[in-house]
Structure 1
Amino acid sequence: MKHAAGLLGFIARFAILGLALAFVVSLLWPTSGEHLRERFGLASTTPSSLPVTTTGAAGPTLSYADAVARAAPSVVNIYANKTVTEQALRMYTDPLMQRLFGGMPAGPAYKRREQSLGSGVIVNADGYVLTNNHVIANADDIQVLLYDGRVAQAKIVGADQETDLAVLKIDANNLPVAHFQPHASVRPGDVVLAIGNPFGLNQTVTMGIVSAIGRQLSSSSPEDFIQTDAAINLGNSGGALIDARGNLVGINTLLIGKAANAEGIGFAIPMDSAKKVLDQIIDTGHVVRGWLGADYAFVPVAADSGLPAAARGVQVSDVYPGGPAASAGIQPHDILLRIGDDDIADPADLRRHEAALKPGSKVDVSGLRNGAPFRLSVTIAQRPSVLPDSSSLDG
């Protein structure tokens, strides 16, 4: 019995000594445990939830510096100068007269120079630059500041008011071109970075996510937008919206600011749309879109509409006199469900479909009129740059 008790005491003292020695070693050499586990091939005890820095296409990342370094050289600053003619006014001293008649001309009109700040993206090694139409509208002199400090004179190749896009051309060598895939998709929640020239600060990067896709800001427009909460400020217009790998996914165009009690609501033109505009402007100097000659609204679902509860399609709200839809016999309140071989999801979807059709081509449109099916053939016209006054519509 004494022998057993002595043995247990010896083991206990040895264990205590070993633990004390291990404690001292861990204080002097904190990574010794990890080295021993690696030496004997044991699994690491590092929690798997800790963030890991990676430069791969998948997985989390702690820095977007590589993405910015890849995309930033193709982003340029645009300085658009124009001459503005103004008339000096002499105001009435009487407040009532001011309210009734405003001011009186005082002397000859005078001219002054006005400069618009914006951004652009080099999308072609031949010197083509994408920017916003509102940045360069009415400009008589456009200067482009490149990433490497060079300054180039730009000329306007063409512009498209529908998408607020414009194409410029500069003559320069060794131009860095943006990386983009026109059909690459972005999803709500994807990280995006906006690069541009806000308030003339040059090459500023802001980060956010894709808030939504397919946004339509005008019911009569065929285009859709990427909505993002990445900060887009004055001067960012025409700049790059890139993904976490540095690929160009959109052209920044506008924001809804604090004046509208909004924060973090900006919009960019998807590269799929921008590439179509770019190619047409380079080829012909302008953009051609198909047009049905009607306005649409969402389908009202009622108990007696004859439509299923999850109805898709559009309801014709107005028809332009003399337009393709009127000539084909489409009437206000018709429900359009299909164009060509494609189902119609909603008004924005139909706008995109008709815009992609070639003027002069024929397309079958089918739907319901007072609950009864109908099918008509429509000859597509070219969408006018300025739509007729809505007061002239039937219905």
Structure 2
Amino acid sequence: MRFFVILMLIFNISFVYAASKKLPESAQEIQLSFATTVKKAAPAVVNVYSRKLVAARKSVFDNDPFFKQFFGNRFGRSQPREQNSLGSGVIVDASGIVVTNHHVIKDADSVRVVMADSQEYEAEIILEDERSDLAVLKLVTKGETFTHIEFADSDKVEVGDLALAIGNPFGVGQTVTSGIVSAVARTNVGISDFQFFIQTDAAINPGNSGGALVDSLGRLIGVNTAIFTRSGGSNGIGFAIPANMVKRVVSSAKIGNRVLRPWIGAQIQSLNVEIALSLGLERPDGILVRAAHRDSPLYAAGIKRGDVISAMDGISVKNEKHFRYLWGNKQIGDSITLSILRDEQRMEYDVAMLGAPEEPPRRTAIIDGNAPFTGAEIMNISPAVIEEMSLPLGSVGVIISDININSNAQAYGFEIGDIILYVGEVEIKEVADLLQASATNRQTWRLSINRGGRIINSIVNG
């Protein structure tokens, strides 16, 4: 009797389970796959191989007089070594324009692109945009045209949409993985200045960087750039740079070698619960304007300190990173409408997109001689430099923009982004001041620098 009851129970459970599922009703539904989408998109996804020569460390015996006496300069002579990296890329124009991640080709001496059909082409780097972690390549061809992927409007991507990741993980060959869009507007990933990503659970692994994230129609919704992992492999948390940002960078590459973004020229911050409540808001959505440069587009439009920006062109602003992403996708010369809350009154302002002024001119120079700064590239700070290097609003003076390897500046511990305030008693207001101060012979150097808002005073021997 017990056996019969168990059988009946299993039968009833099976019947309910089967009834709750919709079975395929046609041969087409049984054979449903993403093959058509993959055939459309996959030929436009390529492998990107970059190569660079890295200076080898000097031998500890290079400057040893004993070994030099017996071996001359032959002992320990260091040779540069070759370093290769592999990533993926996406052809986005029939003329052979390829977009990939900046970290895939950073400091490369040469770049080679291998197509899905194994054809190989040399590629020129026509634009590097470290702020967005994107780079644009141009295939060196004899006039061939290429299959390319069309851009989707990534602002219309929704959580739950189908997502296919195409790339070359671990160098095993072109691979397609499927998933969904797990989240949009994902921030705090720590990859680029524009912290705004599409998250997907489609498997993304090393080698997928720069590959395509496409929708069900084979259109590009993002460029795969990073994964969250503790093991080095995919854990179902991958991030892609939205296609609208990619499209903006590619458009810039077609007309120049840098991305000219409109200038915000203001100090802004995300709202928190306390600020939102103090302003009479139900939710902490939007951004607070804390200060605005008097030459900035916001100031010129009439936006004031204490204003809350709640929307841009009708799109609700979630936080500071969302605002910077939306702003960064605009072009100089565009006009936008910002929705503002001021003294519990809602209003709208039209804002003209302007470029950051180069005043004073940056006058880039590399310091030579025997000063502690030797080998550092320096420039005057202007609103344009503040925007490019994400400096605090109101920064002035001279900043280190690059440091040569094995230089005095590197040995003394200077860092990119250091602002030189004083050399001895001399205040450094412009590049000419630091060049003149560095040309003097000193036994000791008293230095004052600003590093990330912290003032460092030090004395070093000449």
Q: Kindly indicate whether the alpha-carbon contact (under 8 Å) linking 1:324 and 1:381 is maintained by their aligned counterparts in 2.
A: yes
Residue aligning to 2:213: 241
The counterpart of 1:71, out of the listed 35, 41, 44, is 41
Question: Amino acid of the residue matched to residue 308 of structure 2?
Answer: I
Pairing 1:310–2:280 present: no
Q: State the shift of 1:391 in Å.
A: 10
Question: Amino acid of the residue matched to residue 355 of structure 1?
Answer: G
Pairing 1:385–2:388 present: yes
RMSD: 3.9
Q: State the shift of 1:248 in Å.
A: 2.6
Distance 1:389 1:108, change over 3 A: farther
Q: State the shift of 1:244 in Å.
A: 3.2
The counterpart of 2:54, out of the listed 74, 84, 94, is 84
The counterpart of 1:213, out of the listed 184, 192, 203, is 184
Q: State the shift of 1:352 in Å.
A: 3.4
Residue aligning to 2:162: 191
The counterpart of 1:283, out of the listed 248, 255, 258, is 255
Residue aligning to 1:264: 236
Distance 1:245 1:208, change over 3 A: same
Q: State the shift of 1:389 in Å.
A: 5.0
Q: Kindly indicate whether the alpha-carbon contact (under 8 Å) linking 1:299 and 1:313 is maintained by their aligned counterparts in 2.
A: no
Distance 1:88 1:320, change over 3 A: farther
**SS of 1:178 mapped into structure 2:** coil
Question: Amino acid of the residue matched to residue 140 of structure 1?
Answer: D
Residue aligning to 2:273: 300
Question: Amino acid of the residue matched to residue 308 of structure 1?
Answer: L
Q: State the shift of 1:174 in Å.
A: 4.6
Q: Kindly indicate whether the alpha-carbon contact (under 8 Å) linking 1:296 and 1:318 is maintained by their aligned counterparts in 2.
A: no
Distance 1:303 1:119, change over 3 A: closer
Q: State the shift of 1:75 in Å.
A: 1.0
Question: So what's the TM-score if we normalise by structure 1?
Answer: 0.70
Q: Kindly indicate whether the alpha-carbon contact (under 8 Å) linking 2:200 and 2:239 is maintained by their aligned counterparts in 1.
A: yes
Q: State the shift of 1:263 in Å.
A: 2.4
Distance 1:125 1:168 in 2: 13
1:45-88 per-residue CA deviation (whole Å, 9 max, x = no partner) reads: x9982135776xxx796432232222211111111001111214
Distance 1:163 1:354, change over 3 A: same
Distance 1:377 1:184 in 2: 22
Distance 1:85 1:211, change over 3 A: same
Question: Amino acid of the residue matched to residue 110 of structure 2?
Answer: D
Distance 1:274 1:186 in 2: 15
1:313-362 per-residue CA deviation (whole Å, 9 max, x = no partner) reads: 21235667976667889776553345677764432342234334554778
Q: State the shift of 1:367 in Å.
A: 4.3
**SS of 2:41 mapped into structure 1:** helix
Distance 1:241 1:261, change over 3 A: closer
Aligned length: 332
Distance 1:319 1:67, change over 3 A: same
Question: So what's the TM-score if we normalise by structure 2?
Answer: 0.60
Q: How does 1:321-340 map to 2 (within 5 A)?
A: 334-337=307-310
Question: Amino acid of the residue matched to residue 264 of structure 2?
Answer: L
Distance 2:276 2:224 in 1: 43
Stretches of structure 2 that go unaligned for 5 or more consecutive residues are 1-18, 62-74, 357-386, 396-451, 454-462
Distance 1:50 1:284, change over 3 A: same
Q: State the shift of 1:284 in Å.
A: 2.3
**SS of 1:276 mapped into structure 2:** helix
- Structure of larger gyration radius: 1
Distance 1:240 1:391, change over 3 A: same
Q: State the shift of 1:135 in Å.
A: 0.7
Q: Which one is further off, 332-341 or 136-145?
A: 332-341
Question: Amino acid of the residue matched to residue 273 of structure 1?
Answer: M
The counterpart of 1:155, out of the listed 124, 130, 134, is 124
The counterpart of 1:50, out of the listed 17, 23, 28, is 23
Q: State the shift of 1:388 in Å.
A: 1.5
Q: Kindly indicate whether the alpha-carbon contact (under 8 Å) linking 1:366 and 1:376 is maintained by their aligned counterparts in 2.
A: yes
**SS of 2:278 mapped into structure 1:** coil
Distance 1:360 1:175, change over 3 A: closer
